[in-house]
Amino acid sequence: MNLIWLLLRASWLNVAIAVLTGLISGGCSAQLIALINSAVSGTTNNLLWYFVGLGLIIFFTTIISQFFLIELAQDAIYSLRLRLSQAILSSPLRHLEELGANRLMATLTEDAQTLSGAVFILPTICIDIAIILGCLVYLSWLSAAVFIVTIVFLALAIASIQFLLNKARDSLSLAREEEDRLFKHFRTITDGIKELKLHSQRRQQFLSEELQVSAAASRQHNITALRTYAIGDGWSQMLFFTIVCFLLLGLPRLVSVASSVLSAYILTIAYLLTPFRNIILRLPQFFRASVSLQKIEKMRLALASQHEETETFSPS
């Protein structure tokens, strides 16, 4: 189960409308780059009206796409919270005690909040993806040969970045597992505050050997993940500049390419850097939400299976 499937379950029609308008917005953004390239090349006939028209289309399609995704995402979160709460209320008390109040509270609060935050940025990511796809279509139209070289280079770059992102995601998963233990320790503080107040040695032992250890482990996993994302962000920028350098200095020595095509490629790739970087910078929150959604789904399945067993074997 992932965020896309969560949205599709809420309303596939709204997803289709949001995707369609997002693709239109991305295609118009690519066409806008083509118009800028035409203006730079000296062609200015009727470009003003094209700019105005494309700007208005981008404005309205972006708003429509984001409106649909925002409402859809919030409806999905709303339904997910209700289903999870219903599953908890329908489960036997003994099973809930086995799962632990700390895990239940972490799922209802931390995971739900993380998921809600990621859903908030999902519309922006969808628009950025649509812009990237539109620009790639424009690049393929400019020159098939140069596009093949560019797309191979981009594929290698994305593969190397994906390796770093997978490492960061593993660290985020470990950090989320540590959150369950932290919530357990916080529960100990609130429920056992009298005992901790009365026994100084037990209090110091709890702080130094349990709470501090879990907090430090969670901090270290998050630091490792965010540092890996920072490396991925810097690496992606360097790869984009490498592509530009290769197109300017290397490719003309290998094949004959018109200067107008090269300038259009460089302009488009420079424009692509912004949506690519936006996606990479938002991936930590997106991956946290993916981990949280997995935790929510595991909790829901655990509660549902126990509920089914209770219904099956309960006396009539």
Give 169's Cβ-side CA count (13 Å radius): 16
Q: What is the pLDDT of residue 278?
A: 83
Whether the pLDDT of residue 156 is over 60: the answer is yes
Q: What is the pLDDT of residue 311?
A: 44
Cα maximum dimension of the chain:
84
pLDDT tens track for 185-196: 777 777 777 776
C-alpha pair distances (Å), 155 with each of 162, 239, 267? 10, 11, 20
Give 128's Cβ-side CA count (13 Å radius): 17
CATH assignment of the domain containing 247? 1.20.1560.10
Q: What is the pLDDT of residue 316?
A: 39
Query: Average pLDDT for residues 292-301, to the nearest whole number?
Result: 75
DSSP string covering 199-214: -HHHHHHHIIIIIHHH
Determine how many CB atoms are found less than 10 A away from the CB of residue 246. Answer: 14
Task: Give the chain's domain count.
Answer: 1
Query: Average pLDDT for residues 198-225, to the nearest whole number?
Result: 83
Which range of residues forms the domain containing residue 234?
3-313
pLDDT-derived band at 45 (thresholds 50, 70, 90) equals low
Angle between helices 47-90 and 112-142 (to 10 degrees): 150
Query: Average pLDDT for residues 120-145, to the nearest whole number?
Result: 80
pLDDT tens track for 232-281: 888 888 888 888 888 878 877 877 777 777 888 888 888 888 888 888 87
Q: What is the pLDDT of residue 307?
A: 56
pLDDT tens track for 281-291: 787 777 777 77
Q: What is the pLDDT of residue 312?
A: 41
Where is average pLDDT lowest: 30-34, 221-225, 311-315? 311-315
Q: How far apart are CA 255 and CA 145, in angstroms?
A: 9
Phi, psi of 230 (to 5 degrees): -65, -40
Q: How far apart are CA 291 and CA 221, in angstroms?
A: 14
| SS3 state of residue 192 | coil
Ramachandran class of 256: left when φ > 0, alpha when ψ lies in -120 to 50, beta otherwise: beta
User: Is 234 buried (19+), middle (13-18) or exposed (0-12) by CB count in 10 A?
Assistant: exposed
Q: What is the pLDDT of residue 243?
A: 83
pLDDT-derived band at 42 (thresholds 50, 70, 90) equals low
Give the global pTM: 0.68
Cβ contacts of 58 within 8 Å, gap of 6 or more: 25, 28, 29, 32
Comparing C-alpha atoms, which of 96, 107, 95, 109 is closest to residue 177?
107
